[in-house]
Structure 1
Amino acid sequence: MAVFPRAAGPGCGRLRRVSALTWITVGSLAAWGWLLLGQGFFWRTDVRLPDRTPPADWPAVAIVVPARDEAGVLPSSLPSLLAQDYPGRAEVFLVDDGSSDGTSELARALAARHGGLPLTVDSPGEPGPGWTGKLWAVRHGMALARARTDAEYLLLTDADIAHAPDSLRELVAAARSNGLDLVSQMARLRVASFWERLVVPAFVYFFAQLYPFRRVGRPGARTAAAAGGCVLLRREAAERAGVPERIRQAVIDDVALARAVQRSGGRIWLGLADRVESVRPYPGLASLWRMVSRSAYAQLLHSPLLLAGTVAGLTVVYLVPPVAVVAGALGGAEGALVAGAAAWAVMAGTFAPMLRYYRLPVWWAPLLPVTALLYLLMTVDSAVQHHRGRGAAWKGRTYTRPEAAP
């Protein structure tokens, strides 16, 4: 008698789907186990300036501030630079990168009103072929510093960054005490609006996940990064690394700068700041979206393959756990429910220290999957804008991918 195989019932398809979800969720949990223990403890927020023994002689410092249409933030940032309590000689060079809002005039007026360190305001004109506007301005500021001072160090700081009065002194002491060629602090960003609170701490969290601070500058480590808002750079190291000329096309210029210095034999350090803060507001989602999307695809080297991998990785690591919890609870898949809840708990637990650093309640931590979804969409949008010819657009300029630049 012939024996016919039993037809698969409707429950078998559901079983296969639930089983696949469970395995994917277990993979997500395994990824979080590795991120927790094997990614340089990126989630810890206790990396601060190292030993800061005051030097016997305080070296001269040139403070270079590239600025383009920054009249809205200069009153909150520039006076903090002019008021630096620094025992050595220091001078501020504000380089106006083609502003149309009176940035130069305002800077001079602020210097006249507040006094403090000497201020030079100048403009380099339109960027040369193959240069980004910011690095063209930094190049001009460094040239001014070489011509007018004998500065041993350059403080490269953005126009929206406010410094505590002892910021420069602490940076120089850390560099001198530890023999560092580059010292960079990730400024504390503004978290006043709802969207800033939802997006900004995750921005720093993701950055630290890519570039664990503990690995930056470690002897033999390949991880190199800096935070462009606050970089103290030894002038000799800059010349040895050939910057900014060697990185003139870089959209993510801070990471490119750190890599160039490290590859030329320089010692670098990166950590979180306590008293260096960004005063730039991002009141709505649109402004935050532009901040992330303008450089996200450049971070992926304009590679469709890396884009696909990033989308898949963000989905599995950040989105699958809450989906598994909901699907497991509704469908009775205990394995998916348990694995998803565990992965989500580890995710929230690693995010909590960053929320505390930003003085936000830890109940925001379980919302990280929502923020990750936003970042996924921003990254995809960055690629779409690039392929439409808009590339890394910022303040009226659009930059092509490096190999396409003249």
Structure 2
Amino acid sequence: MSAAPQVLIVGAGPTGLAAALFLSRRGVPVRIIDAAETPTATSKALGVNPRTLDLLEPTGVTARILAEAGTVARLHIHRHGETLAAVHLDQIDLGARFPLAILPQARTEVLLTEALAARGVAVERGQALSSLSQDAEAVITTLSSGERVRTPLLFAADGAHSTVRKALNLDFPGDAWAEPWQLIDVELDGPPADEAWIDFRDDAVFVCLPYSGTRFRLIGFGPPMLDNLPEGWRAGAVLWRSDFHISHRMASAMSLGRVALGGDAAHIHSPIGARGMNLGIEDAYVFADCAADFLSGQLERIEDYDRLRRPVDKAVVRRVRALTSFVRNTGAGADLARRTAIPVVTRLPFLIERVARIGLGLDHPVVLR
């Protein structure tokens, strides 16, 4: 007979899957549920950063990601199509053991799910959380099937509209920006397959990221992006498109009693900087360490999770918001700043390394104590 689950994980995106995998490797029996009947087929995240690859390496998932992933060698920054700077990312030495890997989130989730299955843990799909309460010894939940579940701990990785966060009455303060942004995955003829591209325009920003082969991701706001491609580029099949609004929010606490939040359930920010999925996997790694210690008798460790993660995540949200504000500002002052600052900054190694550390997830250590 299998051991009774010690942690119920709500949400089987990359954060929840990683938490289940890290806990399982520590010998902690887990149960993971997700309200969706099937895994997502679309991919919000593309970049798996060096920090995430470090954390996942002992699980075997890193080797599988690198076997499939592409990389970004250069970043070209333009203004109205004219080059402001070209940054050779493959020549910046930050001491990382791994590169920034480009792999669709849906594929990363498949690899995490397979690694978890190899340890005897399967995602229970079509199972939503209906209610939650706590007592001195356990978290008591009711699932959509009517089943009542009692576990020592619960980890919520159920997204920006987290049912768990709402059940705990935790605030999710922050701000939202009014303008709609576009996200398009499309076949393109023209851009290099290993190069990221940013073009600052009068009333818009245009970002192009390599995806896989001739597939690219376009992100931006303003006029329709496919009608305003750079000269010489041609669009083919559109694979996926979505309009969205950007918010930057941070939960008022990342744990309450025996319940902890991770990933988008705890913090959200713009896709600029490629930090969302990666930050959630960091949360999962630290939670797994705290939870395993708590379950072995170190009762103070569950309170460490909020203390260790919330300041880090809050700082990342703040930095990403500042970076995105710089990108989205189309005013004359911002245009002058970009024209003058970007060529200078990209020629100063200590400054470009500082910016690169934000994008590669190397702007802070992962602290377990």
* Structure possessing the higher radius of gyration over alpha carbons: 1
- TM-score bracket, shorter-length normalisation: under 0.3
TM-score (norm 2): 0.28
